């Protein structure tokens, strides 16, 4: 075999090894993200349920407690954004509506918008609970 042929095949081997290394890096990052999601999904659901219960309490007397409702809604928004980051763009489509309702609530802090925030947070809680149940069943 001459040097030109050897050089040709070694350049292809370098490109193939680069592609394999990139693919392995992608798989490792995906596995890491899956582990982080599996570990943090249940505590996040518990926090969201506790905060939604607090929102419900504040919603009963909204005219008096609207400041506390706004504080808890901000905490919920941060948790929902963290959930969106952990799930990824495709799997987190269900949080777009709740985040939109939270942005609307920040502009207009009416009781009707507060009710929409609470209802959308319940939707997120139920969706995450369903995801956890599916993960328990499928493994």
Per-residue pLDDT of the chain (139 residues), as tens digits, is: 566 666 777 778 888 999 999 999 999 988 887 787 778 889 999 999 999 999 999 999 989 989 999 999 999 999 999 999 888 888 889 999 999 999 999 999 999 999 999 999 999 999 999 988 988 888 6
How many CA atoms does the CB half-sphere of 106 hold within 13 Å? 12
3-state helix, strand, coil split of the chain in percent (to 5) is 90, 0, 10
> How is domain 40-138 classified at the CATH fold level?
1.20.120
Q: What is the DSSP letter of 94?
A: G
Q: Which of 107, 128, 130, 131 is nearest to 117 (CA)?
A: 107
**What distances in angstroms separate CA 1 from CA 4, 7, 8, 80, 113, one per listed residue?**
8, 10, 11, 61, 76
Are 113 and 105 in contact by the 8 Å Cβ rule? The answer is yes
Question: How far apart, in whole angstroms, are the C-alpha atoms of residue 107 and residue 116?
Answer: 14
Position 138 scores a pLDDT of 83
The rounded radius of gyration (Å) of the Cα atoms in the chain is: 23
Domain ranges (residues) in the chain: 40-138
Compute the CA torsion angle 90, 93, 96, 97 (nearest 10 deg): 170
């Amino acid at each position: 075999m001459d040097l030109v042929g050897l050089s040709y095949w070694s350049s292809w081997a370098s490109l193939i090894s680069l592609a394999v290394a990139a693919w392995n890096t992608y798989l490792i990052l995906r596995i890491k993200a899956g582990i982080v999601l599996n570990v943090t999904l249940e505590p996040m659901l518990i926090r969201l349920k506790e905060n939604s219960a607090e929102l419900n309490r504040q919603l009963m007397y909204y005219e008096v407690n609207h400041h506390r409702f706004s504080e808890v809604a901000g905490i919920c928004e941060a948790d929902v954004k963290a959930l969106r980051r952990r799930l990824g763009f495709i799997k987190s489509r269900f949080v777009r509506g709740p985040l939109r309702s939270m942005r609307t609530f920040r502009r207009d802090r009416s009781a009707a918008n507060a009710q929409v925030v609470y209802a959308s947070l319940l939707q997120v809680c139920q969706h995450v609970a369903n995801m956890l149940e599916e993960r328990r069943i499928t493994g």
